[in-house]
């Protein structure tokens, strides 16, 4: 059978673009459907604009600390509109780069939503096109819980659209998105309150990392209501009234709190795959807990349909989606039999201070190997940078080691430049480094990073 395209990609995010370009480079005839801006969540409403805001939020801290080094500086006036405009200009620049990449790869771009009609047919706009294979890369979107007054809130996407800086903000959720936005707004001078359902932030991360960052956020002035939830939201002339209750005591009025804010961001209450209207019911594609189920080749239950990125049940990170897309294209169009590896995928939380991890947590290591077979190395110290400003800001570094093999199973860090440091550590762990390998490595002195090779 003759098809219009060899590959039709639904979704023009980082993963979809990576897959389409790589497949086209092998000579495949490729099309992409994307109704919104190219680049997906990361470029437009996620990691890129958020990281730029993180940079903006750190200048007041740096100016304050510079006094310890002899500088006499005064904190100037921050202009929210200037920052947001500059961030959006950078997003627009990146959109244009993505467009040029699509054009240079000779990939046809449809600026409409796409709907599956069957395993080989896609309806895009008022046109029906066919493809030998279809790749779903539609990503995900934030979800809002059912709370009275939910209409007075915004999702994390709305943080990039605020016309002016709120003086007081309540952030619901203690995941990495909530923690990052809490740090950003706190650094920019907004009064921040976090409401988290669990007793600690960053569920799923290493316990020591969670403890260290939780304490650091509180010391920075962020108020955290843990084991709590928002039970109602109202608006009046004073602002947005947020009613908070202890999770197990909603009816106990003595354990209820009302916070007055200018904005409420439900930034960490979860995300889900954007599958509505996709037409999956017209195919054999199966859903597992709200996400598209795929095998090790990213293939769905329908042999001609594949899926990658945040719409699947794998690791929801942009670099993972990009690698999945390239592995998919290399295997099916490049003649290279590749599999995506999900081992030792590093991750970071761009708070202030940063947190980053690679490998498994101490808890998971104990569950898998037994406590008697795990040796944990920890180091907690004040880095040299904070000695002259006399700041009590600590750095935490941790290695989780399998005793019998001496293999390093996990590395975790809270401190300045944690993401940059853990990226290098990730290479070592991916290669199977042992604690003896770390010990035999000469450190760079003086640096915080050298602690990873001097812990005994």
Question: Distance between CA 29 and CA 357 in Å, rounded?
Answer: 39
Distances (CA, A) of 205 to 68, 170, 214, 411, 414: 34, 23, 12, 11, 12
Question: Cα angle at 286 between 284 and 289, to 5 degrees?
Answer: 165
Strand 291-292 relative to strand 287-288, pairing: antiparallel
Contact present, 376 and 400 (Cβ < 8 Å)? yes
Is the preceding peptide bond at 156 cis, omega within 30 degrees of 0? no
- Please give the helix or strand (H or E) that residue 14 lies within, else none: helix 14-25
Q: In the block, which residue shows the tokens 């109704």? A: 35
List for the chain the helix, strand, coil content (%; round to 5).
35, 25, 40
First to last CA, the chain: 64
| DSSP labels, 237-281 | TTEEEEEEEETT-TT-GGGEEEEEESEEEETTS-EEE--TTS-GG
Query: Cβ(336)–Cβ(330) under 8 Å?
Result: yes
* Catalytic option among 120, 203, 214, 445: 445
12, 33 Cβ separation under 8 angstroms: yes
Residue 216 host element (H or E): helix 207-219
Please name the helix (run of DSSP H) or strand (run of DSSP E) that holds residue 429, with its range, or none.
helix 418-430
Residues 247 and 228 sit within 8 Å (Cβ to Cβ): yes
Calpha distance 181→142 (Å, rounded): 14
- In which residue are the tokens 């095998």 written? 295
Cα–Cα dist 199/366, whole Å: 22
Q: What does the DSSP assignment read for 353-398?
A: S-EEEEE--HHHHHHHH-GGGEEEEEEEEE-GGGTTTT---EEEEE
Taken in order 154, 158, 162, 168, the sign of the CA dihedral is positive
For 247, other C-beta atoms within 10 Å of its C-beta total 16
Known catalytic membership, residue 402 = no
Where in the sequence numbering do the catalytic residues fall?
Answer: 445
């Amino acid at each position: 059978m003759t098809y219009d395209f060899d590959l039709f990609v639904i979704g023009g995010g980082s993963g979809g673009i990576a897959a389409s370009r790589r497949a086209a480079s092998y000579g495949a005839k490729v099309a992409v459907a994307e109704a919104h801006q190219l680049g997906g969540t990361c470029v437009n409403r996620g990691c890129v604009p958020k990281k730029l805001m993180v940079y903006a939020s750190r200048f007041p801290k740096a100016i304050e600390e510079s006094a310890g080094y002899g500088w006499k500086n005064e904190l100037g006036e921050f202009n929210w509109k200037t920052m947001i405009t500059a961030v959006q200009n950078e997003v627009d620049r990146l959109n244009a780069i993505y467009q040029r990449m699509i054009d240079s790869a000779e990939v046809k771009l449809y600026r409409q939503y796409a709907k599956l009609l069957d395993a080989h047919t896609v309806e895009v706009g008022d046109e029906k096109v066919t493809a030998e294979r279809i790749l779903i890369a539609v990503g995900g979107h934030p979800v809002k819980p059912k709370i009275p007054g939910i209409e007075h809130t915004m999702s994390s996407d709305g943080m990039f659209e605020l016309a002016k800086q709120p003086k007081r903000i309540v952030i619901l959720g203690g995941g990495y998105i909530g923690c990052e936005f809490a740090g950003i707004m706190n650094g920019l001078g907004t009064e921040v309150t976090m409401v988290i359902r669990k007793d600690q932030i960053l569920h799923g991360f290493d316990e020591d990392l969670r403890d260290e960052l939780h304490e650091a956020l509180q010391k920075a002035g962020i108020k955290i209501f843990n084991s709590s939830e928002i039970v109602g939201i109202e608006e009046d002339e004073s602002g947005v009234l947020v009613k908070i209750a202890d999770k197990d005591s909603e009816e106990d009025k003595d354990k209820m709190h009302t916070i007055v804010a200018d904005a409420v961001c439900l930034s960490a209450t979860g995300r889900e795959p954007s599958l509505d209207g996709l037409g999956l019911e017209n195919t054999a594609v199966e859903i597992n807990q709200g996400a598209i189920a795929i095998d090790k080749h990213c293939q769905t239950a329908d042999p001609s349909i594949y899926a990658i990125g945040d719409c699947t049940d794998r690791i929801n990170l942009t670099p993972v989606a990009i690698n999945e897309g390239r592995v998919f294209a290399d295997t099916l169009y490049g003649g290279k039999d590749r599999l995506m590896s999900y081992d030792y995928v590093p991750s970071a939380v761009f708070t202030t201070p940063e947190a980053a991890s690679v490998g498994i947590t101490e808890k998971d290591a104990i569950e898998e190997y037994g406590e008697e077979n795990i040796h944990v190395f920890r180091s907690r110290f004040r880095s040299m940078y904070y000695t002259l400003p006399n700041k009590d800001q600590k750095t935490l570094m941790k290695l989780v080691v399998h005793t019998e093999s001496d293999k390093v199973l996990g590395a975790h860090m809270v401190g300045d430049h944690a993401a940059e440091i853990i990226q290098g550590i990730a290479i070592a762990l991916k290669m199977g480094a042992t604690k003896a390998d770390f010990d035999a490595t000469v450190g760079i002195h003086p640096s915080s990073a050298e602690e990873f090779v001097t812990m005994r």
